Amino acid sequence: MNVLTHYYIMKHRFIDPEATPESAEDSLCRALLALDKIAEMRAFLRDLCTPAELEALTDRWRVVPYLLQGVAYREIHERTAVSVTTIGRVARFLSQGNGGYQAAVAHHAVPSVRVRKRAVPTSVALKRRARR
């Protein structure tokens, strides 16, 4: 075998994913499950994800409690600065996804949020608005 052929084979083997009995996704899930302290999980996620990836994950999780309480997308956006598109995506997966959000909800992992009641406009306020 000449050097060029050997290089190609080595390069080809390097590119091919390693076949293991456990998928890489299963291995990642096991790693996440193995961490039982918030500080360990935070460190792992910061090592694993770019700052933008971690922010995207955090944003998605941050809107879940609001969606569960039926808060309007625009109000969620105003409170969290998460895009309405992302909020809609989370809402879709919350109701039609793979069950991951629902599993976390069932394990009481969702943070509580205070939903402000909108003041019902009085007749005086309604008249002022009508004049404008």
**Per-residue model confidence (pLDDT) at position 111:** 79
pLDDT along the chain (132 residues), means of 10: 50 58 90 96 98 98 96 97 98 96 91 64 50 54
**Per-residue model confidence (pLDDT) at position 16:** 58
Q: Which of 53, 10, 45 is nearest to 28 (CA)?
A: 45
CA distance 69 to 65: 6
- Compute the C-alpha angle 111/46/77, nearest 5°: 45
**Can you list the positions of beta strands (E) in the chain?**
none
Q: Which of 118, 101, 114, 102 is nearest to 69 (CA)?
A: 114
**Per-residue model confidence (pLDDT) at position 122:** 47
H or E element: which one contains 64?
A: helix 51-68
Token readout for 121 is 């406009």
**Per-residue model confidence (pLDDT) at position 120:** 45
CB 25 within 8 A of CB 33: no
